[in-house]
Chain A
Amino acid sequence: MTPVRLVRVVWQATFLGLFLWLLVRLAEGDPRAFPYAVFQQSSPLSSAGVAFAARTLPPALAVGGGVVLVLTVVFGRFFCGWVCPLGTLQQLASVVLSPRSRRESIEVNRWRPWYALKSWILAFMLAAALLGSLQTGLLDPLSLAARGLAAGVWPLLPGGRPVPGGWLAASLLVAVLVASRFVPRLFCRALCPLGALLALFARNALFRLARRDGACTDCRACRFACQGADEPLGAHRPGECHVCLNCVGGCPEGALAFRFLGSISAPERRPDLGRRWLVGGILSGLGAAPLLRAGGGREVASPAMLRPPGALRELEFLERCIKCSLCEQACPTGALQPALAQAGVEGFWTPVLVPRRGGCEFACTRCGEVCPTGAIASLTATRKTGYDGGPPVRIGTAFVDRGRCLPWAMATPCIVCEEMCPTDPKAIWFERVNEAARDGRMLVLQRPRLDPARCVGCGLCENRCPVGAEAAIRVTSVGESRDPLNRMLLGG
């Protein structure tokens, strides 16, 4: 192993380890404020997607995406070859799973015209984002990897919680890795919209491969371990190059070097995107955005769907959420789950709060702290609870179902919802009544009543209600702080 290669492997392992470690710390509920979202915030694709969709660029995304883009202009797609955890995992999979001979490896690492598919996907996603439909996260490698690990792998580990749809996230991740058995880094080469975006900036990178004239014997050994299929021999494509530098060390003649303003002897080819296909990608993106909304429901929040505390208004929320799963991984009670159908097609895999799975802990603000894009605002505990003097952050309002409630409908004492209610004063209070049981015995019952002005919709009552299946107290989104139109009470 050449020294350069050793450095790169250690570097990649470090970043992959960091990525995994942050996810584990998050799942463990580590109270320390690590930069949990630093990888997701370093995706220029997310920066561009959020900026296009929300017409605003959150500072963290501007810095993270900006730094990566500037470094890409200087060094090319180093992010793909040196940093991206999904790239590293694929590279690992291609080495571990591959049965290829040396000759087959040289053949499989040729550039193929259909690798331009990723550019059309990018065009589609950015065009849709311009119309407010942010879908970049579905294929953004940082979101894809986090989602697959958080929703698909973590539930299988000791201490992991089941995640609805986890099989789907895991399948996508596994499919990406298994594809590397057939074509190394197939996802990076052909599908990754982040790679396509970085390729635009890497095309004229300052550092690039250079070949010494006359030294090449045309042995094609440079292609043996080429990650990007960028043809270091002949018509080199700097936009495809992952800067893995395997070719530099692999050249038996020492003809290749990675150099500042290096010159390539062969004429540089423009990326062959196929203009019709590119236009088709843009047009279908522009067409898909309104099509996905044909069912409506984007401006008006669904009453049955609860969003995390601090979530922006539904429209703005959808324009920022990159479906990365970090909030769900951070939620200590498992209340936050990916939406499979609840939030419409556009809102697929955005977080929803499901009280039957977990309540929203009163003073917990983890989801907003880790959200990379500000789709969930970062709150302080005093702000969320209203202990700072302002109104508390409400997720919705609970409603007592008098037809199911034990003291209301079945002359049976129960106080669980009132006991769980965390607000001060409690939103749930008791009406004491004397009621005759069936046998004539007089019972004193405490029937739960709800003060909607106090309820924050945390769902702890619904979570602990002993009435099976559908609870006897249930939270709906009406009254949520984020939407002044989704209100019930005058002035509330």
Chain B
Amino acid sequence: MSHEHRIGRREALVRLSSAGLAVAGVATGALGFADRRTASAAVSALRDWRVATPGEGARAVAARGANPADNVRRALTALGGVERFVKRGEVVLVKPNVGWDRLPEQAANTDPRVVAEIVRQARAAGARRVVVADISCNDPGRCFDRSGILAAAGQAGAEVLDGRHVKMVSANLSGAAAGLQVFAPLLEADRVINVPIAKHHGLSRVTLGMKNWFGVLDRGRNRLHQDIDRCLAELGAMFRPTLTVVDATRVLLGNGPQGGSLSDVKDVGAVAVSVDPVLCDAWGAVQLGVDPSSLGFIRNAERAGLGRSDLALVREIGKA
């Protein structure tokens, strides 16, 4: 062929480099995606939110009186003051029970005055953020609104997040809850204060602090009822709060945990603050007229070394 077209140096360079770039691009993409870990591999570790406590002194303090905010303040002061538990600049999660579309007088949710006082105390100790969050059983908007917690905690200076506003993330849960997700505020918190209300429950007989951890879970938590006493102790072993505050301002004696009837509600007018989640639940059971030693989850938790159920360890400071 006399008209053979010969390419120049310049064109050869362009062709070779574009071919090289194409190969490199495909290879990079293939290597990047090859045997890629799926999203489920990203599991966050739960922290231990407890603060080191000196061996001496009370492990729980219970205060009584008509004013729930006073009770919180007095019990917390007697336990060593909020500064012992919350340091300046920390992020504090307050986890009340806001499970139900019920009014405060129906005693299905934690009393808003108790929640608000804890928020104020944490703010006073210099907390950078105080988050109040729960995954409700009923429509979250209605629960947070009608329980009075949205308004009360908001005014006290907390970010109030209902189930529509929290992200669920994977965490290293074990036992029966393995594979379930927890809400993100739990992983972002430096300190966690668990604030259950003392109520009757149809399966575990009473619902208190350990049962309150159901509220950080969402899908799949309804399966945990199938071996409730084991699961509650497992939750107690995984979630180690800075403080547990049991609200016994009003307690629910029947048709729990949702209640509804005012005839099931009893005014007790007490609040207990504790560094020992088992002790706090034992105290709460007594407020409901239930012998703690008859409760399977408390026995399991004590056996697992999560705390003590000896009520002599609770310091009752009575009325102001």
Taking Cβ atoms with an 8 Å cutoff, the residues of A that contact B are: 29, 31, 159, 332-333, 361-364, 406, 412-416, 418-426, 430, 446, 460, 464-466
Contacts and interface: CB of A to CB of B under 8 A. Distances in A.
A464 B139 contact: no
A464 B136 CA distance: 12
A421 B258 contact: yes
Contacts of B101: 361-364, 422
A406 B202 CA distance: 15
Contacts of A420: 137, 258
Contacts of B255: 424-426
A430 B141 contact: no
Contact of A414 (B164, B225, B257): B225
Chain A binding surface, main DSSP class: loop
A412 B228 CA distance: 11
Contacts of B145: 31
Contacts of B228: 413
A422 B141 CA distance: 17
B142 A332 contact: yes
Nearest to B137: A420
B223 to A, nearest CB: 5
Contacts of A464: 137, 222
B231 to A, nearest CB: 11
Nearest to A362: B101
Given A332-B141, A363-B101, A466 B261 contact: no
A412 B258 contact: no
A466 B221 CA distance: 9
A424 B225 contact: no
Contact of A361 (B138, B222, B227): B138
A416 B139 contact: no
Contacts of A362: 101, 138
B200 to A, nearest CB: 11
Interface in B134-151: 137-139, 141-142, 145-146
16 contacts: A361-B101, A362-B101, A362-B138, A364-B142, A413-B203, A413-B227, A414-B222, A414-B225, A416-B222, A419-B137, A419-B202, A419-B203, A424-B255, A425-B255, A426-B255, A460-B138
B151 to A, nearest CB: 12
A34 to B, nearest CB: 16
A333 B139 contact: yes
A194 to B, nearest CB: 34
4 smallest beta-carbon distances between A and B, as pairs: A424-B260, A332-B139, A466-B222, A415-B203
Contacts of A159: 164
B226 interface: yes
Nearest to B263: A424
B142 A361 contact: yes
Contacts of B137: 419-420, 464
Nearest to A406: B226
A280 to B, nearest CB: 49
B264 to A, nearest CB: 9
**Interface residue tally on B, bucketed by range:** 20 to 34
A413 B225 contact: yes
Contacts of A466: 222-223, 225-226
A316 to B, nearest CB: 28
Interface of B: 101, 137-139, 141-142, 145-146, 164, 201-203, 222-223, 225-228, 255, 257-258, 260-261
B257 A419 contact: yes
Given A31-B145, A364-B101, 7 more contacts: A361-B139, A413-B203, A414-B222, A414-B225, A416-B225, A430-B202, A466-B222
Nearest to B224: A466
Contacts of A413: 203, 225-228
Nearest to B226: A412
Contact of B202 (A29, A422, A446, A465): A446
> Most chain-B CB neighbours within 10 Å: which of A332, A412, A418, A464?
A332
B299 to A, nearest CB: 16
Contacts of A333: 139
Contacts of B223: 466
A365 to B, nearest CB: 11
A420 B203 CA distance: 13
A422 to B, nearest CB: 6
Nearest to B202: A415
Given A29-B141, A421-B258, A415 B164 contact: no
B171 to A, nearest CB: 21
A62 to B, nearest CB: 33
Given A422-B260, A424-B261, A446-B202, A415 B225 contact: yes
A165 to B, nearest CB: 23
A362 B259 CA distance: 13
A425 B141 contact: no
Contacts of A465: 222
B215 to A, nearest CB: 13
A364 B139 contact: yes
A262 to B, nearest CB: 53
A430 B227 CA distance: 17
Contacts of A29: 139, 141
Contacts of A363: 101, 142, 146
B261 A425 contact: yes
Contact of B258 (A361, A422, A430, A446): A422
B226 A418 contact: no
A413 B203 CA distance: 8
B260 to A, nearest CB: 4
A142 B101 CA distance: 33
A64 B223 CA distance: 51
B247 to A, nearest CB: 20
A118 B150 CA distance: 51
A15 to B, nearest CB: 28
Nearest to A360: B139
Contact of B203 (A364, A425, A446): A446
Nearest to A465: B222
A455 B201 CA distance: 20
A416 B101 CA distance: 16
A420 B226 CA distance: 16
Nearest to B204: A415
A414 B139 contact: no
Contacts of B146: 363
A414 B75 CA distance: 36
Contacts of A426: 255
A414 B258 contact: no
A200 B153 CA distance: 58
A332 B141 CA distance: 8
B258 A419 contact: yes
Contacts of A412: 226
Contacts of A446: 202-203
Nearest to A448: B202
A192 to B, nearest CB: 36
Nearest to B229: A413
A267 B260 CA distance: 73
Contacts of A422: 101, 138, 258, 260
A446 B225 CA distance: 12
